[in-house]
Each structure stands twice: as C-alpha cells, then as structure tokens.
Amino acid sequence: MSESNRQLRLKTRPEGDVRREDFDLVAQPLPELGDGEVLIRVLYLSMDPTQRVWMRDIPQYLPPVAIGEVMRALGIGRVVASRSAHYAEGDLVQGLLGWQDYAQLHEKQLAASGYVKLGAQAQQLPLPTLLGACGMSGMTAYYGLTDIAPVQPGETLVVSAAAGSVGSIAGQIGKIRGARVVGIAGGADKCRYLVEELGFDAAVDYKAGDWKQALKAATPDGVHVNFENVGGEIMRAVLSRMVIGGRVALCGVIAGYNSDERPADDFSVAIYKRLTIRGFLILDYKQAKEAVQALGGWLREGRLKAEETVVDGLENAPLALNRLFDGSHRGKLVLRVDPAS
Ligand code: NAP
C-alpha cells in the first residue's frame, strides 16, 4: 500500500474549460483509522458532466464543491483497511470517493444513501461498466424511459448526446422497447457508430450544416419522446418536431454547464404542443435493483452494448473532464486511478 494519499483540491473555479491549475495536487500521509472507519483504495472514477456544475458557485442540487475541498466524484474502490464490523478488506464499494487515491470514510457515512457494497453478481462485470451501462448512466437512461417518459413500441424516440454514456444506453433501451430511435451526436463517426454498431434507426450530426433538415427527414412522423441530454438549440429543434402530447425526459442540459451565460429559452412550444417536460435526478432512485437487473440481463443477452473510454492517472482528472464537453470520447468516460486495477 502506498504511504501517501494524493488529492486534487479545488483551487479556483474554472471559467470555460477546466485547467490543471484550477486544482492543487497535494500528497497527504495516510491517516490512522479511528473506530468505525474504513480506508478505500480508489480504483476507478466516473467522469460526469455534473462535476463541471459542482465546480461552479451557483444554486444546484448539491452544495458546490468548496475552494480547498477534494473534488467530489463517484467511483469504485476496494477496502484496504477496516476498523468497522460491516466492512472487510477486499470489499468493493461504490459511492462518492472523490479525486484522490484513498478515501477514508466512517461506516456511518457509508451507510448513508449514495454508497453501496458491490455484491458477487456485480463483480462479474468490468468495473468501468459498473459506472457506465450497468451503473449510474444506465440507470439514468432506464428510469428516464421507464418512469419519466416511457416510450411505447412504434413511437419515435429522439436522444441527444446519443453516443455518450447515458445517451447510448437510452437509445438502445428505446430499440429494446420497440421504438424508432433517432440519435443526435457530433460528427460522422459517432453517427455511423450509432446506426451501424448500436442499431439506431437514424443519426443526425449536429455539427453538419444541414442538421435541422436532417432531423426533420429522420422524424417523418414527428417525435413522441425526447430523452434530452443537451438543451439549448438542440432541444429547441427537437421540441419543434414533437407531436401534440409528446413527452420529454429532461435528463441534462450540458450545453450550458461550461458557461456562465444563462440561455433565454422560449418555452412557448411546450404550451402549444401540450408537452409534458419532466426533469429528474437519478439520486432520487434509491432502490435501483430493477434497473440493474434489467441492464445486466440485456448485457448478458447481447442486446445492450457497453462502451467505455478509459483515461489513466489521477493527475489527469481535470483535463480529462473537458472530454465530456469537446466530445472526444465515446460511451462512458472513466478515470483509472489505480494502475493495477
Ligand atoms: P456523455 O454523454 O458521455 O458526454 C457528454 C456528451 O455531450 C459529449 O460526448 C458530447 O457529445 C455532448 N456535448 C457536450 N457539449 C455539447 C454541446 N454544447 N452541444 C451538443 N452536445 C454536446 O455524458 P453523460 O455522463 O452521459 O451525461 C449526458 C447528460 O446526462 C448530461 O447532460 C448529464 O448532466 C446528464 N445526466 C443526468 C443525470 C440525472 O440524474 N438527471 C445523471 C447522469 C447524467 P458529442 O460529441 O455528440 O457532441
């Protein structure tokens, strides 16, 4: 076991792209454990668009990360020392571990929602998949299309950021449910991937000049359900294609996360199309067993494809996060913190 713990602590709030200098990389000696405490070696960290929002001092669903605080991040780690009767060396834990080599947590913190001990069945899957298709991203896609805006056979579903972690699973769930699925993504390669490898019916490259026309051509019967990950101009274009009574699972608005400018959105279309637009947060789904079982089953049957882009090295976390915004990854973006994992 390494004798020190490297941590990335927020130093300055980024403006636009995240810079390495926005974080202090500090090495701390590993602490003695107190009664009830557990030391977890961080193996993989989930890179999530919401982390860019956590870096900002604006109203949001969790407190912003404070200056000087270890950057908040979901991850998977292995217990390497324990003074808790509930955790043994070797246990795998998923939860908010942070941008650091080791997380020292009390069993009371681990008992709070947001942390789970991974069982034997989960451990049959690769760890990055447990953060992606069969983890938080997959569950978000699952509940968005099951609970928030269920899609029916024969309906048209449009998914934005469709080649990313949540979007790629949402589109595939749409196909499993018998919908006609159209993905929106940046670039010809990603669009080809959606149709040829993931089985989408059509894909629209929003970086191509004629993309609104292409969206219209790809949705001849209009759009019944929109699984929205991007917001802004893309969402407005999809809403304008929706049928009367269409439903929107408003999952994320990544187009606005990197900028302090608030878009002046015109929602009159939601009125005249009698749309139901429902925002949701996966952290409200405490019992995710149903989703994990369904996603795991589809993966085993080969009906769902999981893809991950893995970046190595804790020190690379700040710059890696920008890949969520420049689109230079496919599927789930994860950071491997422990080179041995
Ligand atoms: P991701 O899709 O793997 O990565 C983000 C993708 O968004 C990029 O690959 C990029 O794809 C696209 N993008 C970035 N900036 C864009 C822009 N300005 N315009 C158009 N596309 C842009 O990330 P993810 O983790 O799956 O998250 C996707 C969305 O789900 C985010 O909005 C996130 O906040 C949301 N989310 C919500 C919940 C919830 O509980 N509600 C949970 C997880 C995630 P291209 O190359 O195609 O541009």
pLDDT in tens, 20-45: 999 999 999 998 999 999 999 999 99
The string of pLDDT tens digits covering residues 44-54 is 999 999 999 99
Confidence category of residue 262, pLDDT binned at 50, 70, 90: low
Asked if residue 199 has pLDDT above 90, the reply is yes
Reported as a single tens digit per residue, the pLDDT across 263-295 is 666 676 777 788 889 999 998 988 788 999 999
Which ranges in 240-313 belong to alpha helices (H)? 268-272, 289-301
> Stretch 216-226: mean pLDDT, rounded?
98
Residue matched to tokens 């069993």 = 107
**Across all residues in the chain, what is the average pLDDT?**
94
Tokens matching residue 270: 């939601």
pLDDT at 268: 66
In this structure, which residue's CA is closest to atom 15 in ligand 1? Answer: 325
pLDDT of 298 higher than 90: yes
Give the CATH number of domain 4-132+307-336.
Answer: 3.90.180.10
Give the CA angle between residues 139, 288, 126 to the nearest 5°.
60
In this prediction, what percent of the chain has a pLDDT beyond 90? Answer: 85
Residue having the nearest C-alpha atom to atom 48 of ligand 1: 186
- For residue 76, the CA-to-ligand 1 centroid distance in Å is 21
pLDDT digits (tens, 9 = 90+) for 6-24: 999 999 999 999 999 999 9
Provide φ and ψ at 106, rounded to 5°.
-85, 150
CB–CB of 94/129 below 8 Å?
Answer: no
Instruction: Give the fold, CATH level 3, of 136-283.
Output: Rossmann fold (3.40.50)
Mean pLDDT of 143-152: 96
Atom of ligand 1 nearest to the CA of 47: 25
* Residue 46 beta carbon below 6 angstroms from any ligand 1 atom: no
Q: What is the pLDDT of residue 121?
A: 74
User: Is 48 touching ligand 1 by the criterion CB < 6 Å?
Assistant: yes
129 pLDDT more than 80: yes
Q: What is the pLDDT of residues 54-63, one digit of tens each?
A: 999 988 899 9
pLDDT at 201: 98
Q: Report domain extents, the chain.
A: 4-132+307-336, 136-283
Residue 156 in contact with ligand 1 by CB distance below 6 A: no
Residue range 90-108: average pLDDT? Answer: 96
So what's the pLDDT on residue 120?
A: 78
More confident residue, 121 or 207: 207
Centroid of ligand 1 to alpha carbon of 138 (angstroms): 13
Q: Which atom of ligand 1 is nearest to the CA of 279?
A: 41
Does the beta carbon of 39 sit less than 6 angstroms from any atom of ligand 1?
Answer: no
From 121-125, 194-198, 252-256, 282-286, the region with the lowest mean pLDDT: 121-125
Alpha-carbon 277 to chain mean position: 20
Residue 251 per-residue DSSP state: -
Strand pairing report for 332-336 and 202-205: unpaired
Q: Is the CB of 72 under 6 A from ligand 1?
A: no
Between residues 220 and 292, the one the model is more confident about: 220
pLDDT at 85 over 80: yes
